[in-house]
Amino acid sequence: MTDEQLAKLIADDDLGLLAVKPKRTPQTSEEERLLEGFQELIRFVENTGAAPTELGTRMNERLLFTRLKAIRENAGQRERLLPFDEYGLLKGDVTAPPKEPPPPETIDDILNDPFFASLESGVSDIFTLKHVPQAKDIESPDYVAQRKPCKDFKVYEEQFQNCQKELKAEKRRLLPFANEQQIEVGKFYVLNGILLLVVEVGERFEKKGKWNNRLRLIFENGTESDMLLRSLASELYKDGKRVTELDEKLLNAMLVTDEDKDAGFIYVLRSLSEHPDIKAVPNLYKIGLARRSIDSRIQNAANEPTYLMAPVALVSSFQCYNVNLPKMENLLHRFFDHATAKVQVKDLEGNYSTPKEWFSVPLSTIEAAVRLLISGEIVNYVYDAASGTVKLVE
């Protein structure tokens, strides 16, 4: 077969059949394969400075192009990989990583460096640099969280022992890790075969357009780590499990198994608006749904009337399986219908609107209603606005 025939065959491979890798072991999940394949695309960008193209001179590049095309055309895969897309591969607007300048070859190359031309004259001490920030002012991009002995492990040891007993008694179960929204304080996970507990979630911060948190993780072997939330999520995708809660139930009142289908999340948001009319509404919360990442859904909240044209904070979320999520969300909205908060906001174009899904209800009451929905008992209850609680129908 000639190169021309091969190129035509690859170009006509709409199903990506030529991009199929050798069959893996059953232990390798679809999630792992997707992430590993995308990381290979990222390495290509880092090595070449550009995305793979259909006209690449090497077969590997053309196969990578076929894989990238298939991912771009799959909405579910795009959303799953978005947190890892640091170079814009999914959007097609690739921002290549900066290339290192070539090393100087002669003394003239060093002396002609523009850096020396920028230095002020009359400097008496060549070790006193005026144009270079001190090391303490530079944020190290290469910081990697390290495990170290946990000095207060005794505080958590009994929790690990109880969790292991509950797993053996099948009061808890190990399930595939599916979303970074599942990482919360007080919850257990298994990473590389070791049980870990999240005991602290630091302040949320933004870096390079992405939100993250620094965690404190305690491991069953007596060590701890201050890994970033997104880093932990990435590792759990590859070789991890989440441990169910003792009282965790599904909307169909059944335990989750590997065969159950993740429907998404019901979430509760708090507005961070400084507008006096909005701040004046007591217990103001938005009840919404998200198919995948809640973070990506709310990252542009300050520019969207739906979120009252202001940043929001995620205060609670509930993962759902095997259900029609919009129907569940609608049922909750109807349950709190007479507590709807009618707040008017002005969008970026000067138009006024009254966003839906905002309610003046105590957070504890919203969470109680969701749990009643999960157990199926919500039909026996009503919301009492006078007391701000749910009450049994008499």
- For 275-322, write each residue's pLDDT tens digit: 999 999 999 999 988 877 788 788 888 999 999 999 999 888 887 777
Q: Is the pLDDT of residue 198 over 90?
A: yes
Spatial contact of 213 and 224, defined as CB atoms under 8 Å apart: no
Q: Is the pLDDT of residue 18 over 90?
A: no
- Residue 14: pLDDT band (50, 70, 90) is low
> How far, in Å, are 62, 145, 159, 223 from residue 148 at the CA level?
44, 10, 20, 5
Pairwise pLDDT comparison (116 vs 77), residue with the higher score: 77
Which of 212-216, 315-319, 387-391 has the weakest average pLDDT?
Answer: 315-319
- pLDDT on residue 28: 47
pLDDT mean across residues, the chain: 78
- Please report how many Cα atoms fall inside a 13 Å half-sphere around the Cα of residue 167, on the Cβ side: 17
Pairwise pLDDT comparison (217 vs 69), residue with the higher score: 217
Alpha carbon 85 to its chain's center: 12
Q: Is the pLDDT of residue 16 over 80?
A: no
SS3 (DSSP) at 210: strand
pLDDT digits (tens, 9 = 90+) for 215-268: 999 999 999 999 999 889 888 888 888 888 865 543 333 345 555 676 778 889
Pairwise pLDDT comparison (92 vs 38), residue with the higher score: 38
- pLDDT on residue 216: 92
- pLDDT on residue 132: 52
- What pTM was computed for the model? 0.40
Percent of the chain whose predicted confidence (pLDDT) is above 70: 73
> Strand ranges (DSSP E) for 237-357?
240-243, 262-271, 284-290, 312-321, 345-346, 352-353
> How far, in Å, are 98, 110, 111, 153, 273 from residue 115 at the CA level?
18, 9, 9, 50, 46
Distance CA 197, CA 195 (A): 7
Q: Read off the pLDDT of each residue in 327-350 and give the average, rounded to a whole number.
A: 88
Architecture of the domain spanning 148-243: Roll (2.30)
- Listed by start position, the domains of the chain span 3-84, 148-243, 262-392
- pLDDT on residue 121: 46
Spatial contact of 173 and 246, defined as CB atoms under 8 Å apart: no
Q: Helix crossing, 325-335 with 363-375: angle to 10°?
A: 130
Alpha carbon 350 to its chain's center: 32
Percent of the chain whose predicted confidence (pLDDT) is above 90: 19
Pairwise pLDDT comparison (81 vs 15), residue with the higher score: 81
Q: Is the pLDDT of residue 92 over 80?
A: no
Q: Read off the pLDDT of each residue in 175-183 and give the average, rounded to a whole number.
A: 75
- Residue 139: pLDDT band (50, 70, 90) is very low
Q: Read off the pLDDT of each residue in 353-367 and give the average, rounded to a whole number.
A: 90
Query: For the chain, how long is the longest CA-to-CA vector?
Result: 91
- pLDDT on residue 249: 42
